[in-house]
Amino acid sequence: MEILIDYRDDIGDKSWEEDIHNACERTLVHLGMNPEDYEVSISFVGDEEIRELNNEYREKDSVTDVLSFPMEMDFPIKPMPLGDVVINLDRAKQQAEEYGHSVKRELIYLLVHSILHLNGFDHEDEEDKAEMRLSEEAIMGDLDLNRG
């Protein structure tokens, strides 16, 4: 799997890269996909940049924890780009403290959540939300990063 990581303004911890790679692979394997066939781009940003992106692309003038931008291609190439993940590291740190777990665990959860979005998962209604949560929990369990 090819993973392109952009540490905007030196935001992020490069020691997480192996965990990021494992999370991406486990998520695709969970979905029955061959990780070697795919590529994902991940950017770590702060509150200000994610607010700008959220406003520009979703018309929501607010800070969020993660954004997913699926890539839709009409022709097959390998590795096939799944899309872009933008993680707000400021919010991830805040949520990790609120939930009482590590920043790494929160970061990986947001990444798994976002990759599921890149593959068509959503949480707009209760049935879809339940399906997405089951997948998230299974993947986080595979990564030995369950809650608590």
* pTM for this prediction: 0.93
Which residue range is the domain that position 138 belongs to? 2-142
61 within a domain of the structure (yes/no): yes
CATH of residue 83's domain is: 3.40.390.30
Whether the per-residue pLDDT at 148 is higher than 70: the answer is no
Whether the per-residue pLDDT at 89 is higher than 90: the answer is yes
22 within a domain of the structure (yes/no): yes
CB 92 within 8 A of CB 112: no
99 within a domain of the structure (yes/no): yes
* Mean pLDDT, rounded, for 29-34: 97
8 within a domain of the structure (yes/no): yes
Q: From residue 113, how far is each of 41, 75, 116, 147 by CA, in Å? A: 14, 26, 5, 15
Which percentage of the chain shows pLDDT scores above 70? 97
* Mean pLDDT, rounded, for 105-120: 96
58 within a domain of the structure (yes/no): yes
Whether the per-residue pLDDT at 133 is higher than 90: the answer is yes
Please give the pLDDT value at position 9: 67
Closest alpha carbon to 65 in 114, 21, 100, 11: 114
38 within a domain of the structure (yes/no): yes
- Burial bucket for residue 33 (CB in 10 Å: 0-12, 13-18, 19+): middle
If one counts the domains in the chain, the total is: 1
Please give the pLDDT value at position 147: 72
